[in-house]
Amino acid sequence: MSAPNKSYDPVEVEAVKPDEVARHRADALAAIAAATSLDELHQVKIAVTGDRAPLALANREIGALPPAARAEAGKRIGEARGAVKTALAERQEALEADRDARVLVEEAVDVTLPWDRAPRGARHPLTTIQERIADIFVAMGYQVVDGPEVEAEWYNFDALNFPPDHPVRDLQDTFFVAGKSTGEGQDAAGSGMVLRTHTSPVQARTLLEQGAPVYAVSPGRTYRTDELDATHTPVFSQIEGLAVDEGLTMGDLKGTLDHWANAMFGDGVVTRLRPHFFPFTEPSAEVDLQCFVCKGASVGDPDNPCRTCGSEGWIEWGGCGMVNPRVLVACGVDPERYSGFAFGMGLERSLMFLNNVQDMRDMIEGDVRFTLPFGMEI
Ligand code: PHE
C-alpha cells in the first residue's frame, strides 16, 4: 500500500480509476455467471473476493488517496464489491438448487421395487465335500449309512477291538457323557456313552444290522477333547468307508482309494499306504495322497516350492486297513468266509488342502462370508 499523500493525484492511482474498477467488476460478474458447478464457483469466489482479488487491492488503495477523493472512490469500489457479493450469492443459490434437483433424480429410490429382505444363505463347504465324496462311492455301488453322535462305548471302542485300558479311552481324548466309569462307587458303570471319537462305530452298526456282504460309507461329525485352534477342533467330521465281501484284499482297498483320489483330485493322483496301527484293522496303514498340485515335482526343488504339500510331495489324508477278524466276529460275520477293508478321512483336513483353507476356525464360525465363495454344487 502506498503511504498517505495529501498532494496525491487520484488519476495517478491506477487501481481505483473508474474504468479499472468497472472492468474488474464486469470481469468478476462474467466469471460468476460462467461458473457451472459449485466447485467452479468456489474457485471464482476466491479469485474475485480473496485477498489478491483486483477489487480488494483497489479497496486497499483508497487510503492512499487524498481525503477529498476517498469518499467517491470508496463508494464506487464498495458498490462494485457489493455487486460481486450479491452475484456470488445468487449464483450459489441457483447452482445449489440445480444440484438438489439433480440429486433427487439421480439418487431416486424406487421404494416399490421388491427387496430380498432375507438374503439367501449358502451351503457349508463341509456339507458339499461330504456329499461329493458320498456321490463317488454311491457311483461304485456303496450305500450311505448313518450313526448316532452320542454313541455307546461298546460301539465306539469294544466292538472295534480297543482293549478296556486303551489310552484313547482316556479322558484326555474322549468326551464321556455323564462321567467315565471309574469302577468305584456310584460311577462304577458310568453312563456307558461317549461322543463318538470317530465314525468307525458305524462299521460295527452296519455289520450288525446288515451282515455281509456290505459296502457302505458313513460321513458325520466326531468329537475329541482338542483345543480349538487353526489346525484342531474338538468337533470335526470324518467319512468312513467299509466293504465286507468274499475275497476282498488289500489290492481292492488300494484300488478303491486311488479311484476316489482320481475322482476328487484329478486323473492320475495316486495314494500311498504307510504301515500303521489301528485296533480295528489288521494290517493297518496311513493313507497319503499324492500332492495333486505339484504331483511331487516340488520335492528337492527349492526354486519351485509347493504350498499345498509343503514340498513333501504327499499329503497325510487318513487311515485304512483290512477289517480285523475280531471286529467281524464281534459283529456276527464269519471271518473264514468274509474279509473286508475300511478307511476313514477327516473332512476338514480334506477341505483345507483342497481349497487352501488356512484356519479350521473359519469352518466352524458360521460366517456366510466364508461359505459363499465356495458356491453351490447340486
Ligand atoms: N477311525 C480312524 C481314525 O479316526 C480312521 C480309520 C478308519 C482307520 C477306518 C482305519 C480304518 O483315526
- Ligand 1 pocket member 130 (CB < 6 A): no
Residue nearest to atom 8 of ligand 1 (CA): 319
Together in a domain, 352 and 238? yes
Residues 228 and 331 in one domain: yes
Considering the domain boundaries, does residue 118 fall inside one? no
Is residue 67 assigned to a domain?
A: yes
Residue of 218, 280, 288, 326 best suited for mutating to test ligand 1, as the one with most atoms within 8 Å of CB: 280
Give pLDDT, residue 185.
46
Of all protein residues, the one whose alpha carbon is nearest to atom 4 of ligand 1 is 198
Same domain, yes or no: 184 and 310: yes
Do 155 and 204 have their domain in common? yes
Task: Kindly give, in sequence order, each residue whose CB lies less than 8 Å from that of residue 272, ignoring residues fewer than 6 positions away.
Answer: 287, 288, 290, 314
Does the beta carbon of 25 sit less than 6 angstroms from any atom of ligand 1?
A: no
Ligand 1 neighbour 156 (Cβ under 6 A): no
pLDDT in tens, the chain (378 residues): 555 555 555 555 777 888 889 999 999 999 999 999 999 999 999 999 999 999 988 888 888 888 888 888 889 999 999 999 999 999 999 999 999 999 999 999 888 888 777 777 888 999 999 999 999 999 999 999 999 999 999 999 999 999 888 887 776 689 988 866 655 544 445 788 999 999 999 999 999 999 999 999 999 999 999 999 988 899 999 999 999 999 999 999 999 999 999 999 999 999 999 999 999 999 999 999 999 889 999 999 999 899 888 899 999 999 999 999 999 999 999 999 999 999 999 999 999 988 889 899 999 888 888 998 888 776
CA 110 from chain center: how many Å? 32
Residue 234, pLDDT score: 94
Are 175 and 278 in a shared domain? Answer: yes
* pLDDT of the residue at 69: 83
**Inside any domain, residue 113:** no
For ligand 1, atom 10, name the residue with the nearest CA: 320
From 202, 205, 278, mutation site for ligand 1 pocket: most ligand atoms within 8 A of C-beta? 278
Q: What is the pLDDT of residue 187?
A: 47
CATH number of residue 133's parent domain: 3.30.930.10
Q: Give residue 76 CA to ligand 1 midpoint distance, Å.
A: 100
96 and 134 share one domain: no
Secondary structure (3-state) at 371: helix
Both 82 and 196 in a single domain?
no
Clarify whether residues 80 and 147 are in a common domain: no
Residue 343 Cα to ligand 1 midpoint, Å, equals 6
Q: In this predicted structure, what is the pLDDT of residue 157? A: 94
Q: Which of the listed residues 61, 77, 106 is the one where a domain comes to its end?
A: 106
Whether residues 275 and 171 fall in one domain: yes
Containing structural domain, residue 62: 10-106
Q: Tell me, using a 6 A CB cutoff, whether residue 343 lines ligand 1.
A: yes
Q: Beta strands 143-144 and 235-245: pairing type? A: unpaired
Give residue 184 CA to ligand 1 midpoint distance, Å.
32
The answer to whether 261 touches 269, Cβ cutoff 8 Å, is yes
* Atom number in ligand 1 closest to CA 344: 7
Q: How many domains does the chain have?
A: 2
The C-alpha cell at 192 is 456307558
In a domain, 223, yes or no: yes
Amino acid 65: pLDDT: 84
Single residue among 74, 106, 138 that ends a domain in this structure: 106
d(CA 10, CA 65): 6
Max distance between CA atoms of the chain, in angstroms, equals: 135
Cite the beta strand spans of the chain per DSSP E.
143-144, 150-152, 193-195, 214-223, 235-245, 271-278, 281-290, 314-323, 339-346
Which residues neighbour 374 within 8 Å (Cβ) at sequence distance 6 or greater?
Answer: 122, 123, 125, 128, 355
pLDDT for 165: 83
pLDDT of residue 308: 86
Question: How deeply is 111 buried, as exposed, middle or buried, from its count of CB atoms within 10 A (0-12, 13-18, 19+)?
Answer: exposed
Is there a single domain that holds both residue 154 and residue 212? yes
What pLDDT, on a 0 to 100 scale, did the predictor assign at position 214? 98
The three-class DSSP label of residue 281 is strand
- Within a domain: residue 4? no
- C-beta of residue 130 within 8 angstroms of C-beta of residue 239: yes
Residues 82 and 131 in one domain: no
Q: Which of 60, 77, 106 is the last residue of a domain?
A: 106
Both 341 and 230 in one domain: the answer is yes
